[in-house]
A and B are shown apart, each in its own frame.
Chain A
């Protein structure tokens, strides 16, 4: 399908210069290059959720590499190559620094956007204050450039755009591309399946900067003029508007949106200089209000109806499920005996002390239940084990690694898997995609392909089969019931093949029979695969059935630690915690 569209596009590009008037050919060359930059904005904003104003800066860097080199040093194949390398490497370096500033661990998305907003302002200010070297506000022009006809430039720029779009299309539909959507949907969950989100964002930013710089390089080469506006904040914002109008998160929408808007602007702004901006502005507001997804869904809906394919159902086939070949969790059996060791762990929110000196050691194969009244600090304790940045004091060791102040993805690397209290999943991904994201730490996802089998450890397979999710692999997660989301998250955590499993009420929202099944799976993981499982649970019957040890927490401290019999039936648990209910009118449940 993609191949056919790409060939059609290439044919259009090939015949373009013969059938279009010259000024149109000129305008389209520029629009092709703008569209390439808009494509990178769509990857960053539409797919990954990074609202960026800064792609213009990288376009400007690419353009000025040409202008500066050809004006001050000279023109020739060698210089042109040097300018190209300078453009791409320079833009990528700047992007790496900006990315590092914008996406450090724990930075808010708003902060990242502000950094990208500042970037084009800084770059254009530098160009303004560069005197004769950068040409200041009038920029650089009149330099010698490639001796290539306008038709050839049209072919080069057009082919560049088509190939870039095809490549981006393959990428966003690949397994790696889904990681971007997962980051947009739920950054926290990504961290907890072991993805270094900051690193992924910086890498993406660097690649997109390189592409924008190539577009800028060609732009300066064909126009033989560069000016600070091309690196500026206004251009950066225009790119966002084109992407939003075209339809963010659709690749084709932003490309078509840019082509149409840029060409019509150059046509009409001559005739209607001020009114045209007003029209664009009004159109933008109308689209944002009436079609928040942009114009693309209208077009795709129309094409679908033409081709007789209805509905929003996912057309691609469901992946085959298969168990991981080698014995999962195998690497652990020979390791040291201490899976988890906490010493003096404290946590306070201001003056409120939530955890007050927690000490315990848990070995492999232990299924340790954590019980206690609501607000005793159970969830906080789990958070402190899975994220080094959480605790206020004390130490946590996982499989003999001190977690220090390391972020969640690093703790996952030591063997921690955490299931949250409220289902914490990816709403707009399918069940299969969500599970694959959870596997991405162990199986590097392909950048261009979508795998047709989904390898999962046996325990994860059991959970999804027990809850019927295996029949719903293509269903979007948002349409699952609460209990099904809980089960999916549990399966995702098991897919990590963790050695220390933290489960916060894993069976909440599930029926009795589903709970029993999952209880059995957990016991099997602890006994036969030697996992250390820490379980927060309120159902004392469930605790009694599956645990090998019980810890009781009360007001941030451990008040009891012992065998199931000793703890569950103790006077203390009965008074602070347990209840006993009988059905009305003597019915028996």
Chain B
């Protein structure tokens, strides 16, 4: 078996002295979508930021495609074909839609081909390339964010609550595009979601994070999955 796209071992991290993540083990295989679920403030976003190198690792290791990347700077992680779509505003608001899409690309020869494929989920994109990204609506900005990540042809995507603010029909098309990308290019995805329905519609495996620890994990669609998740997410 080839190396995991992402392998996190006994990872602990946090802000200052307060630990947010405790001994998290998790791996995502190429071509797999892994859904990370959990209530607010449980450390889901912190996990992605730690993998990306934005938050210092206190203990444990992060391996990408078999290479130890523990403690590397974000730009080096990004160069190893990792695309991160954070939850907060992450677009260049004053640049055009096209500039935002092109910015991370080393090779622009695939631009039209890839845009055509991604536009199946987001038909507005090709028609608005010249518009300033900051003038897009909140939901459209989210779509641009995920489109930008896909354009980079990543091997691993870290996606933080991308469906927030998207209309239901777009979410459905997005699910199709993400699935197709995994199957076609073998992209691995680690996906944080509050929209459990969406997560289970695209995910292969899932885990539930509670106060920085994984309390449940399994295969989507296996018997009892839904009940188990519902229990962990309830108050």
Contacts and interface: CB of A to CB of B under 8 A. Distances in A.
B226 A483 contact: no
B16, B17, B124, B138 pick with most chain A CB within 10 angstroms? B138
A376 B136 CA distance: 10
Interface stretch (B108-116, B148-156, B164-172): B164-172
Interface stretch (A212-220, A259-267, A503-511, A524-532): A503-511
Interface string A290-311: 0000000000000000000001
B202 interface: yes
Interface in A482-523: 482-484, 487, 504-505, 508-514
Contact of A481 (B40, B138, B196): B40
A539 B39 CA distance: 18
A589 B164 contact: no
A538 B40 contact: no
Interface string B200-213: 11111000000000
Interface in A448-487: 467-468, 479-484, 487
B194 A510 contact: yes
A577 interface: yes
Contacts of B167: 372-374, 538, 577, 579
Interface string A573-585: 0001111111111
B93 to A, nearest CB: 12
B45 A482 contact: yes
A505 B164 contact: yes
Contacts of A538: 139, 165-168
A374 B139 contact: yes
A585 B220 contact: yes
A379 interface: yes
A482 B138 contact: no
B40 A581 contact: no
A584 B201 contact: yes
Contacts of B222: 587
Given A375-B137, A422-B88, A587 B40 contact: no
A131 to B, nearest CB: 50
A483 B41 CA distance: 7
Contact of A505 (B165, B173, B234): B165
A186 interface: no
Interface string A349-381: 100100000000000000000001111111110
B4 interface: no
A56 to B, nearest CB: 35
B80 interface: no
Contact of A509 (B17, B42, B194): B194
A380 B45 CA distance: 29
B40 A578 contact: no
B61 interface: no
Nearest to A467: B40
A582 B40 contact: no
A335 interface: no
Nearest to A373: B167
B116 to A, nearest CB: 20
Nearest to A349: B135
Contact of B171 (A468, A504, A579, A583): A579
Contacts of B225: 587
Contacts of B124: 375
Interface in B12-67: 15-17, 39-42, 45
A540 interface: yes
Contacts, number: 138
A422 B200 contact: no
B143 interface: yes
B140 interface: yes
Interface in B188-235: 194, 196-198, 200-204, 220-222, 225-226, 229-230, 233-235
A152 interface: no
A513 B235 contact: yes
Interface string A407-427: 000000000000001100000
Nearest to B37: A511
A467 B42 CA distance: 12
A462 to B, nearest CB: 14
Contacts of A334: none
Contact of A311 (B17, B201, B221, B226): B17
Contacts of A3: none
Contact of B172 (A349, A487, A514, A579): A579
Nearest to B14: A479
A539 B233 CA distance: 18
Contact of A577 (B136, B168, B173, B175): B168
Contacts of B166: 374, 538
Nearest to B233: A511
A312 interface: yes
Contacts of A421: 138, 165
Interface string A374-393: 11111110000000000000
A289 interface: no
Nearest to A585: B221
B139 A375 contact: yes
B120 to A, nearest CB: 14
A588 interface: yes
A574 to B, nearest CB: 9
A479 B204 CA distance: 31
Contact of A508 (B135, B164, B197, B201): B164
A510 B173 CA distance: 23
A481 B137 contact: no
A374 B168 contact: no
A375 B140 contact: yes
Given A374-B137, A481-B41, A511-B40, A583 B165 contact: no
Contacts of A378: 137
A587 B223 CA distance: 8
B181 interface: no
Nearest to B226: A588
Contacts of B42: 481
Contacts of A589: 196-197, 200, 226, 229-230
Contacts of B139: 374-375, 538
B40, B164, B171, B197 pick with most chain A CB within 10 angstroms? B40
B41 to A, nearest CB: 4
A352 B132 CA distance: 12
A331 interface: no
B89, B137, B143, B220 pick with most chain A CB within 10 angstroms? B137
B161 interface: yes
Interface in A533-571: 538-540
B172 A584 contact: no
A587 B165 contact: no
B168 A482 contact: no
Counting from the closest, the 10 A-B pairs by CB-CB distance are A585-B221, A374-B139, A579-B172, A483-B40, A583-B200, A481-B41, A579-B169, A579-B168, A421-B138, A375-B137
19 contacts: A312-B16, A349-B135, A375-B124, A375-B136, A375-B140, A378-B137, A480-B41, A481-B42, A482-B87, A509-B87, A509-B194, A513-B234, A538-B139, A540-B168, A577-B169, A579-B168, A581-B175, A583-B226, A584-B221
